[in-house]
Amino acid sequence: MGLKRKELVQTSTTPTVTKIETKEYTQEGKWNHCYLSQKKLAPPIVSDHLGRLYNKESVLELLVDPSKFSQGQRVGVKHITSLKDIVELKIKQRNGNGRFICSVTGELLGSGSTKAVYLVECGDVFLEKCLKFDDSLKCPVCQVSYDKRNAIVLNSTDEESIKKLEDRLTSLKKDGLSHSLKKSKSNKRKKHIDQPSTPINIKKPKI
């Protein structure tokens, strides 16, 4: 297709963000770089329903003026359309501005196989092992009550975890809620009038 050729020409002449993304946005990079802007992560840091890390500043920029970002960057964050789609994290850094650490044990996050989570209810971040799924269901940092499903695994890579996170959002949406548990806007989406409104399905009664 003609379009594809044009894209090829563009990528060969200009250094694109996509290239940085593929080279540096490794598993390790995910813990240091904003998923949207690929800038180094710096507080305030936010996360979405999939546990990706972002600079809040970059997300705000996106919400105000999406044209600042490339098509490729925007595609990856289609699910972020308002501040309700993100949660600000209370994430701790070693020595103030070093690597991120568990707020309970002080261990490094993103190293080894131990998963790290954050709670949507409060934004606290720690290793998953610090969560005691007992009857109390209180955040180990601030003691706020939380729902099990709102413990979001950060930077998860396995399909099963991602599917679970996607399913959680689908279920929240059905209840009229957003990722941050705030009420989402009315379901009436006037923007999508291009989609033909299908007539009510009239099921033939089974005889």
**Residue 177: how many CB atoms within 10 A of its CB?**
15
When asked if residue 102 is in the footprint of Zn ion (CB under 5 A), the reply is no
| Sole window of 17-25, 61-69, 118-126, 157-165 interacting with Zn ion (rule: CB under 5 A) | 118-126
At closest approach, how far in Å is the CB of 198 from Zn ion?
44
When asked if residue 130 is in the footprint of Zn ion (CB under 5 A), the reply is no
Which of 36/139 has CB closer to Zn ion?
139
In 3D space, the residue among 129, 134, 121 whose CA is nearest the CA of residue 103 turns out to be: 129
When asked if residue 139 is in the footprint of Zn ion (CB under 5 A), the reply is yes
- Helix, strand counts (H, E) of the chain: 6, 8
Calculate Rg over the CA atoms of the chain: 20
Member of 62, 122, 165, 172 binding Zn ion (CB under 5 A): 122
Q: What amino acid is encoded at 37 in this protein?
A: S
Q: How far apart are CA 74 and CA 68, in angstroms?
A: 10
Which of 60/137 has CB closer to Zn ion?
137
Which of 80/122 has CB closer to Zn ion?
122
Owner of token pair 């044009």: 6
How would DSSP label each residue in 130-165? G---SSS-B-TTT--B--GGGEEETT--SHHHHHHH
Member of 60, 108, 142, 177 binding Zn ion (CB under 5 A): 142
Member of 45, 58, 85, 124 binding Zn ion (CB under 5 A): 124
Please report, as ranges, the residues that interact with Zn ion according to CB under 5 A. Answer: 122, 124, 139, 141-142, 144
